[in-house]
Amino acid sequence: MWDLMKFSFDLHATDGKARTGVIHTARGDIRTPAFMPVGTAATVKAMMPESVAATGADILLGNTYHLMLRPTAERIDRLGGLHKFMNWHKPILTDSGGFQVMSLSDLRKLTEEGVTFKSHIDGSKHHLTPERSMEIQKLLGSDIVMCFDECPALPADRKRLTESMELSMRWAQRSRDAFGDRPGHALFGIQQGGLEEDLRAQSAEALRAIEFDGYAVGGLAVGEGQEAMFSVLDFAPDQLPQDKPRYLMGVGKPDDIVGAVKRGIDMMDCVLPSRSGRTGQVFTRRGVVNIKNARHADDPRPLDEHCTCPACSHYSRAYLHHVFRAQEMISGMLLTWHNLHYFQDIMQGMRSAISTGAFDAWEADFHGNRALGDIPPC
């Protein structure tokens, strides 16, 4: 029955370049701007799927590279698809695997056809092409599929960026051709071009000609720094269609997310809230808290008195400090839940502010609270 519903995007309000709306999918609506928790290997680490939903997440990201290697897309397909496999019945976006091939695997060989690489898990040899990436993502059954691209690390010279962008555009056409007609499922193109405005314009023009259901700004959050990223976001979203979702891949910290939405981005994903939760780094309205620090050992107060997540509602800083230092599993569970809850609170705050034309005031309040720093020690 999932194939009977069409993918669509309704833009409800704008405030400056910031936008809010709803992406309609067969498995449910996605309120934008949206933050997607990352379920790399069919799980958001330290979280139950229903707990992720309770934070306010409308959609998760699954990782094609990791899932194709283990447990394999074919096995997931035999077991009923990724939604059933991981017990997540809301929308799922899968990346194409291209970024992880470039960043994680050994002995890569890049050709016009695709990429041959060795698994970082067991050294087995694999060949990933636009066609194979589309096949894997179809087997997984994701609602939003990403076209296969190449993402060069920054800094890179103009010749390398040009060649990479042009290759990615040829792969985008092959991805579209291989994706075919799949009602109820969407395919997103990925803009490349590094930090160069003219190369990104060329990329956007090529993607528009192919026609996608949504468009990603790729090739950022790869070491260029926030200032450079924002300088690209000052022009890149405007090069993409106004009536389709815009997705900034791999971002980011809270202030990165707010700055991206301010510049016209609708969707983001990042491992940061879950990874940081497992290492004792907590994001709050007043900035970052390191729960491992001794100052929290006797502190009976919550992480954030305004937060309604389980970690803040039921546990003290002293307890959270103790279980982190004792390496108890509940530490990663509670701190990850808090971080994801906070990120979703940011998204809801921005959606509400954009809807009422109050984004600038909301943003000023956001930065003002973070500038205060953590509450004084007891």
Q: Is 269 a catalytic residue?
A: yes
Point out the catalytic residue in the list 15, 58, 143, 269.
269
Residue 132: half-sphere exposure toward Cβ, Cα within 13 Å: 14
Closest CA relative to residue 59, chosen from 218, 214, 258, 256: 214
What's the sign of the alpha-carbon dihedral 97, 102, 106, 111?
A: positive
Q: Tell me whether the omega of the peptide bond preceding residue 71 falls within 30 degrees of 0, making it cis.
A: yes
Q: Is 95 a catalytic residue?
A: yes
Point out the catalytic residue in the list 15, 95, 213, 256.
95
Cα separation, 158 vs 377, in Å, equals 50
| Bridge partners, 92 (sequence order) | 60
Angle between helix 254-262 and helix 226-233 axes, rounded to 10 deg: 20
Please answer whether residues 174 and 131 qualify as being in contact, where contact means their C-beta atoms are separated by less than 8 angstroms: yes
81: Cβ–Cβ under 8 A, 6 or more apart, which residues?
139, 140, 141
Please answer whether residues 125 and 64 qualify as being in contact, where contact means their C-beta atoms are separated by less than 8 angstroms: no
Distances (CA, A) of 179 to 105, 141, 174: 25, 12, 8
Closest CA relative to residue 129, chosen from 116, 140, 141: 116
Amino acid at 233: L
Distances (CA, A) of 45 to 99, 335, 343: 20, 11, 16
291 DSSP assignment: T
Run of H or E residues at 287 = strand 287-290
Residues recognised as catalytic: 95, 269
